[in-house]
Structure 1
Amino acid sequence: MALHNRVSAEVLKQQLAEETFERKTVSFYQYANIEDPQAFRDQLYTQFFNLQVFGRIYVAHEGINAQISVPAHNFDAFREALYSHSFLHGIRLNVAVDDNGKSFWVLKIKVRDKIVADGIDDPTFNIMNRGQYLDAKGFNELADDKDTIIIDMRNHYEYEVGHFENAIEIPSDTFREQLPMAVEMMKDNKDKNIIMYCTGGIRCEKASAYMLHNGFKNIYHLEGGIIEYTNKARQQELPIKFKGKNFVFDDRLGERIGDEIISQCHQCGAPCDSHTNCANEGCHLLFIQCEACAAKHQGCCSEACHDVVQLPLEEQEKLRKGIDKGQMIFNKSKQRLRPRLNQE
Structure 2
Amino acid sequence: MLYKQPVLYNRISNQELRARMLAESEQRTTVSFYRYFLLSDPQGFRDLLYQELTTLHVFGRIYIATEGINAQISVPQKHFDALRATLYTHPQLDKVRLNVALDDDGKSFWVLRIKVRPRIVADGIDDPTLNMANIGPYLKAEEVNILVDDQNALFVDMRNHYEYEVGHFDKAIEIPSDTFREQLPMAVELLQHYKDKKIILYCTGGIRCEKASAWLLHKGFNHVYQVEGGIIEYVRRGRKHGLPLKFIGKNFVFDERLVERITPDVIAHCHQCGVSCDSHTNCRNQRCHLLFIQCPECARRYQNCCSMICQKNRPAALSVKQELIQ
TM range (shorter): over 0.9
Q: Which residue does 1:262 correspond to in 2?
A: 267
In the alignment, which residue of structure 1 is the partner of 2:112? 107
**Aligned to 1:309, what secondary structure does the other structure show?**
coil
What does residue 208 of structure 1 align with? 213
Identify the range of structure 1 (266-275 vs 221-230) with the bigger mean alpha-carbon deviation.
Answer: 266-275
Partner of residue 324, structure 2: none
1:130 corresponds in structure 2 to 135
Superimposed CA distance per residue, residues 213-255 of structure 1 (whole angstroms, 9 cap, x where no aligned partner): 1111111001100000000000011110001000000011100
Paired position in structure 2 for 1:140 = 145
**1:229-268 matches, cutoff 5 A:** 229-268=234-273
C-alpha deviation, 1:283, in angstroms: 1.9
Q: Which residue of structure 2 lines up, in the alignment, with residue 82 of structure 1?
A: 87
Offset of residue 258 of structure 1:
1.0
Counterpart of 2:35, as a letter, is Q
Looking at structure 2, the residues matched to 312 and 133 of structure 1 have their Cα atoms a distance apart, in angstroms, of: 51
Superposed displacement of residue 310, structure 1: 6.3
Instruction: Indicate the residue corresponding to 1:274 in structure 2.
Output: 279
Query: What is the match of residue 51 of structure 1?
Result: 56
1:30 aligned counterpart, secondary structure = strand
Q: 2:74 is matched by which residue type in structure 1?
A: S
For residues 117 and 62 of structure 1, what CA distance do their matches in structure 2 show?
12
Q: Following TM superposition, by how much is the alpha carbon of 1:29 offset from its aligned partner in structure 2, in angstroms?
A: 0.1
- Equivalent position to 2:96, from 83, 91, 96: 91
Report the equivalent of 1:339. none
Identity percentage of aligned residues: 61
User: 4+ residue runs of structure 1 moved beyond 6 angstroms?
Assistant: none
Shift of 1:206: 0.7
- Who is 1:71 aligned against? 76
Q: After TM superposition, give the deviation of residue 313 of structure 1 in Å.
A: 4.1
**Alpha-carbon distance, 1:312 to partner:** 3.1
| Correspondences of 1:211-222 after superposition (within 5 Å) | 211-222=216-227
Query: Counterpart amino acid of 2:265?
Result: E
Q: Distance in 2 between matches of 1:268 and 1:6?
A: 43
In the alignment, structure 1 residue 161 sits paired with structure 2 residue 140: no
Which of 168, 171, 177 is 1:172 aligned to?
A: 177
Query: Residue type of the partner of 1:8?
Result: S
Q: CA deviation at 1:35?
A: 0.8
Q: Structure 1 residue 291: deviation in Å?
A: 1.6
SS at match of 1:188: helix
Task: Say if 2:56 and 2:79, in contact at 8 Å, map to a contact too.
Answer: yes
Match of 2:193 in 1: 188
CA contact (8 A) 2:123 2:181 kept: yes
How far 1:124 sits from its partner (Å)? 1.3
What is the TM-score normalised by the length of structure 1? Answer: 0.89
CA distance in 2, matches of 1:89, 1:146: 38
- Report the equivalent of 1:319: none
1:254-278, CA deviations, whole angstroms, 9 ceiling, x for partnerless residues?
A: 0000110000111121111111111
| The one of 291, 298, 313 aligned to 1:293 | 298
- Structure 1 residue 308: deviation in Å? 3.2
Return the TM-score normalized by structure 2: 0.94
Read off the aligned partner of 2:28 and give its amino acid letter.
Answer: R
Shift of 1:282: 2.1
Which residue of structure 2 lines up, in the alignment, with residue 42 of structure 1?
A: 47
How far, CA to CA, are the matches of 2:127 and 2:289 in structure 1? 35
| 1:122-142: CA deviation from partner (whole Å, max 9, x where unpaired) | 221111111111010111112
**What does the per-residue CA deviation read over 1:45-78, in whole Å, with 9 as the maximum and x for residues that have no partner?**
1111111111110000000000011110111111
Residue 118 of structure 1, CA deviation: 1.2
In structure 2, what is the Cα distance between the partners aligned to 1:55 and 1:270? 35
Q: Are 2:285 and 2:315, in contact at CA under 8 Å, matched by a contact in 1?
A: no
Q: Which amino acid aligns with 1:156?
A: H
Q: Which runs of 5+ in 2 are unaligned?
A: 1-5, 320-326
2:22 equivalent to 1:14 = no
Q: Amino acid of the residue matched to residue 83 of structure 1? A: Y
Alignment gaps of 5+ in structure 1: 315-344
Checking the alignment, whether the CA contact within 8 Å between 2:38 and 2:67 is kept in structure 1 is yes
Number of residues of Structure 1 aligned to a counterpart in Structure 2: 314
Counterpart of 2:178 in structure 1: which amino acid? D
**In the alignment, is residue 302 of structure 1 matched against residue 307 of structure 2?**
yes
Distance 1:135 1:212 in 2: 20
| Counterpart position of 1:317 | none
Residues of 1 paired with 2:120 and 2:48: CA distance? 18
Following superposition, the deviation at residue 176 of structure 1 comes to 1.5
Contact 2:290 2:306 (C-alpha < 8 Å) held by counterparts: yes
